[in-house]
Structure formats: structure tokens, C-alpha cells
Structure 1
Amino acid sequence: MKHIKINNVEKSISSLIMGSDYFSPDNQEKVDGVIDSFLEIGGNTIDTAFIYAGGQSEKAIGNWLEQGSNRDKINIWTKGGHPNQNGHTINQKELYDQLQTSLERLKSDHVQLYALHRDDLTVRVEDILEWLNEHVQAKRIQTFGASNWSVERLEEANNYAAKHGMEGFSFSSPNLSLAKAKEPYWPGCVSVDQNMIDWHEHSQLPLFSWSSQARGFFTGRFTRDNLENEDLVRVFYNNENWERYDRAEGLAKEKGCSLIEIALAYVLNQQFPTGAIIGPQNRDELISCGEGAKISLTVDEVAYINLNR
């Protein structure tokens, strides 16, 4: 499996990143088995967040970390700053409080990666960078990134950081998938467009995609006439995405692999460093993801299935 080197993080980041929004101490045995199988296929990074399952995701990961020598095997990536019922939480106090709570749940004094779950355009990037750099200096986090930020804000922040000798954002996490979102899956979410692709190719800032397999669009369970999943229909059903589906299905047959493995390979074969957050819930699904991560696509193949040629 490919790995990505991130500033200040001791272990490089596996191109497959284990999603954990369904993790809970209530299904701890399943969680332990999935993480152990993820390590077996070469993965080493788990994605979680302050809000996932009301904090139960972080607690389940903390339980796993507490077992034996697990802590040295894995990179933990958690997120804070998601809006709540009172609005945005991108401020110094709430970010500090959320991170402290996350660390308590994870039973750890630090995480390798931290990201802001959303942006708040009313807050200056200068202030945000000051707060995040304080957490790096206090060794609560090794590096930080941004989830669902625009390239304009990322560029503004990193230009300011470079000018003032500060740590900047070392990765971004929008939605990148072969199926293109017609509208945000959740409010405030950002999906990759051509401008963002061009910016990442130029900057080479690593991108870790959520919903990298388009919420199951490429599993084969859905067809043009199957409208049972309202969110999938709302976000991904259009003629262009079904044409991408057909082209990817044909390429999968040529390469002797599954359609969903081609969809995953699309994310991992960009012209800049990429990782894909995956959500397998059993060993077979993990093995499929591992096979998809091994597939190499040419620039022409990536362009073809994405309707660019």
C-alpha cells in the first residue's frame, strides 16, 4: 500500500484511511476486528471526530489503543470545530475544549493528525493558525489540516503561515470521488471541482477524501431506475455520473477487478498525493479496498472514466 509523508508526523499515512463513524464501545468486538484486519492489509491511520456517534467512536478507538502495544501501530486523526445547535464552534475556547475531550476519550495525550471539520468565514485565518500552532507546540497534535475548506481559504492560510514562520495546513479533506456531487451531501460540505484539482496538482498538498466511494454508488446495488436511496439520488444521480459508472464498469472488466475497486483506484491515482477514507464493516470489504489500493491507472484511464476524453 502506498504511504504519504506528512510534515511532523513520524509514521507516513497509509493511502487507505479507516473511517469510524459507526464505531462504539457497544460493538467493541467488531471494532477491534475491523481495526486488526485493517492493519493486516497495510493500513495505519484511523479517521474519527469529536462528533462521531456522539463521542462513542473516539471512545471505542481509545479502548482499542489501550490494548497491548496498539498505540505504536497507528496514526489517529480526529477533528473538531463542527457546528452545533448554537452555530459555528471555530473559536479558541471551543476548539481547546473539544480537543481535550477527544484526547480523554482516546485515552491519549496527543493525536498525530487534527483537522477542523468546517470553516467559519467570519474568523480570520491568522487567528485560526495561532490557535492550531499552540496545540502543535503543546504536543497535543503533530500536524493539522482542514476538512471542507475552499482552496481560497487554504491558500490564504498557508501563505500567511509561510510569511510568518508558522505551521500551515498540511492536508485537506474534501469529498473526491469518481461520481461528482450535484449538491452537498451534508450542509457545509465541499466536493472537489476542477479548480480544486488544479490547485492540488500545483501545490501538491495531500488530499484525504471522505466518501471516496460515493456512498456506495459503485457497489452495484443501485441502478438508474432504483430510486430507493433518496440521498444518493439527490447527490449523485445524473446522466454524467451514470456514464462514469458505465465506463468504470468496462475498465473493471478489462482489468479483472470489481467496479468499486476501480472507483477507489480513481481517487488514489491523481497527480497529487491522495488518501481515501473507507468504511468497510467486515473483512471481505476490507480486502476489496486493499485490492483497489493496488490498482494503477494511467493518466489517460483516469481521464477516460472521468469523462475528460
Structure 2
Amino acid sequence: MKHVNISAVEKPISSLILGSDYFTPQNQEKVNEMIEAFVEVGGNTIDTAYIYAGGESEKAIGHWIDQSSNRDKLNIWTKGGHPNQNGHTINHGELYDQLQTSLERLKTDHVELYALHRDDLTVRVEDILEWLNEHVQAGRIHAFGASNWSTERLEEANQYAAKNGMQGFSFSSPNLSLAKAKEPYWPGCVSADQQMIKWHEQSQLPLFSWSSQARGFFTGRFTRDNLENEDLVRVFYNDENWERYDRAEKLAKEKQCSLIEVALAYVLNQSFPSGAIIGPQNRQELQSCGRGASVSLTADEIAYLDLQK
């Protein structure tokens, strides 16, 4: 499996990142099985968040850490700063409280990766960097990134950090998938378009994609005339994405792998460091992701899938 190096993190980040939004202590046996199977295929990074399953996701991961004594095998990535019923939570006090709660749930004194779940354009990047660097200096986080931020804000933040001897954003986490979103899946979410992809090519800032397999668009369960999944229809159904689907299906036959494995390989074979958050529900799906991570695509094949050739 490929890995992505981040200077502040000792263990390189596995290109497959295990999503955990369905983890809870109530399904702890399944949680344990999925984490162990993930480690077996070479994965070493788990994605969670303060808000996932109302905090139950972090608790379930914490139970696994406590029971297995294998904390050193994993990079833990959690997120904070998601808006709540009162609005944005990107401020010094709420970010501190959320991170402290996350660490308590996870039963650890630090996380290797931390990300802001959203941006708040009314808050200066200078202030946000000051707050995040406080946590770095205290050892609570090793590296931080931004989920659903624009490239303009990322660049502004990292230019300020470089000028002032601070740690900047080490990664970005928008949606990147072979199927291109027509509109945000959830309010405030950002999907990588060609401009963002070009920016990552130039900056070489790692990109860790959520919904890397387009919410199941490439599983084969959906067709042009199957409109039962309203969200999938709203976000991904258009002629261009169905053409990408057809091309991926053709390439999968040539490479003797599955359609969804080609879709995953698209994310992991970009011309900049990339990782894919995956959401397997069983060992079979996890093994499929492992196979997808081993599929190599050329620049010409990436362009062909993306309707550029």
C-alpha cells in the first residue's frame, strides 16, 4: 500500500484511511473486526470526528485502543469545528473543549492528525493558526489540516505560517472522486474541481478525500434509470458522470478488477500525494478496497477517466 509522508507525523499515512462514522460501542465487535482487518491489509490511519455518531465513534475507537493495547499501530485522525445548532464553532474555547473531549473519548493523550471540519470565513486565519499551534506545542495534536476549505484560504494560512515560523496546514480534505458532484452533498461541503486539483498539483499538499467512492455510485447497484437514491441522483446523476462510469467499467475489464476498484484507484493515482477515506461495512468490502489501492493508473488513464481524452 502507498503511504503519504507528513513531516510532523512519525508513521507515514496509509493511502487507505478507515472511516468510522458508523462506529459505536453498541457494535463494538464489528468495530474491532473492521479495525483488525484494516491493519491486516496494511492500513494504519483511522478517521473520526467529535460529531460522528454523537461522539460514539470516538468512544468505540477508544474502547478498541484500551482493549487491544495497540495504540502505537495507528494514526488517529479526528476533527472538530463543525457547526452546531448555534452556528459556527471555530473559536478558541469551543475548539479546545471539543479536542479535550475527543481525547478523553479516544483514551489517548494525542492524535496524529486533526482537522477543522468546516471553515468560518469571519475568523482570521491568523487566529486559527495561533489556536492550532497551541495544541501542537502542547502535544495534543501532531499535524493539522482542513476539511472543506477553499484553496484560497489554505494558501493564505500557509503563507502566514511560513512568514511567522508557525506550523501550517499539512493536508486538505475535500471530496475527490471520479464522479464529480453537481452540488454539495451536505451544506458547506467542498468537492475538488479541476482548479483545486491543479492547485494540489502545484503545491503538492496532500489531499485526503472523503466520499472517495462517490457514496456507492460505482458499486453497480445504480443505473441511469434507477432513481431511488434521491441524494445520489441530486449530487452525481448527469451525462458526464455516467460517461465516466462507462469508461471506468471498460478499464476495469482491461485490468481484470472491479469497477469500484478503478474508481478508488482514480483517487489514489493523482499527480500529488493523496489518500482515500473508505467506509467498508464488512471484510469483503475492505479487501476490495485493498485491491483498489494496488491498481496503478497512468496519467493518460486518469485523463481518459476524467473525460479529458
Specify the TM-score bucket, using the shorter chain as the normaliser: over 0.9
Match of 1:286 in 2: 286
1:12 and 2:28 matched: no
Q: Report matched runs for 1:50-199 at 5 Å.
A: 50-199=50-199
Q: Aligned to 1:187, what secondary structure does the other structure show? A: coil
Q: Aligned to 1:135, what secondary structure does the other structure show? A: helix
- Tell me the CA shift for residue 139 of structure 1: 0.1
Q: Aligned to 1:211, what secondary structure does the other structure show? A: coil
Match of 1:232 in 2: 232
Q: Aligned to 2:68, what secondary structure does the other structure show? A: coil
Q: In structure 1, how many angstroms separate the alpha carbons of the residues matched to 2:305 and 2:198?
A: 18
Q: In structure 2, how many angstroms separate the alpha carbons of the residues matched to 1:131 and 1:7?
A: 20
Deviations 1:192-236 (A, max 9, x none): 011101100000000000000000000000000000000000000
- Tell me the CA shift for residue 7 of structure 1: 2.0
**AA paired with 1:176?**
L
- Tell me the CA shift for residue 68 of structure 1: 3.4
**AA paired with 1:208?**
F
Q: In structure 2, how many angstroms separate the alpha carbons of the residues matched to 1:92 and 1:163?
A: 22
Q: In structure 2, how many angstroms separate the alpha carbons of the residues matched to 1:16 and 1:108?
A: 22
Match of 1:303 in 2: 303
Deviations 1:114-167 (A, max 9, x none): 000000000000000000000000000001000000000000000000000000
**AA paired with 2:247?**
R
**AA paired with 1:265?**
A
Q: Tell me which moved more, 60-69 or 259-268.
A: 60-69
Q: In structure 1, how many angstroms separate the alpha carbons of the residues matched to 2:23 and 2:68?
A: 20
Match of 2:202 in 1: 202
Q: Aligned to 2:35, what secondary structure does the other structure show? A: helix
Q: In structure 2, how many angstroms separate the alpha carbons of the residues matched to 1:267 and 1:277?
A: 10
Q: Aligned to 2:50, what secondary structure does the other structure show? A: coil
Deviations 1:79-131 (A, max 9, x none): 00000000000000000000000000001111000000000000000000000
- Tell me the CA shift for residue 281 of structure 1: 1.1
Match of 2:38 in 1: 38
1:257 and 2:237 matched: no
Match of 1:216 in 2: 216
Deviations 1:212-267 (A, max 9, x none): 00000000000000000000000000000000000000000001000000000000
- Tell me the CA shift for residue 64 of structure 1: 0.3
Structure 1 unaligned blocks of 5 or more: none
How much is the aligned-residue C-alpha RMSD, in angstroms? 0.4
Q: In structure 1, how many angstroms separate the alpha carbons of the residues matched to 2:136 and 2:185?
A: 31
Q: In structure 1, how many angstroms separate the alpha carbons of the residues matched to 2:226 and 2:126?
A: 48
Following TM superposition, the consecutive aligned residue runs of length 4 or more in structure 1 with deviations greater than 3 angstroms are none
TM-score by length of 1: 1.00
Q: Aligned to 1:66, what secondary structure does the other structure show? A: helix
Q: Aligned to 2:202, what secondary structure does the other structure show? A: helix
Q: Aligned to 1:104, what secondary structure does the other structure show? A: helix
- Tell me the CA shift for residue 67 of structure 1: 1.9
Q: In structure 2, how many angstroms separate the alpha carbons of the residues matched to 1:193 and 1:308?
A: 13
TM-score by length of 2: 1.00
**AA paired with 2:42?**
G
Q: In structure 2, how many angstroms separate the alpha carbons of the residues matched to 1:86 and 1:144?
A: 25
**AA paired with 1:267?**
V
Q: In structure 1, how many angstroms separate the alpha carbons of the residues matched to 2:53 and 2:44?
A: 22
Percent of matched pairs sharing the same residue:
83
Q: Aligned to 2:79, what secondary structure does the other structure show? A: strand
- Tell me the CA shift for residue 69 of structure 1: 2.8
Number of paired residues? 309
Deviations 1:27-67 (A, max 9, x none): 00000000000000000000000000000000000000112
Match of 1:47 in 2: 47
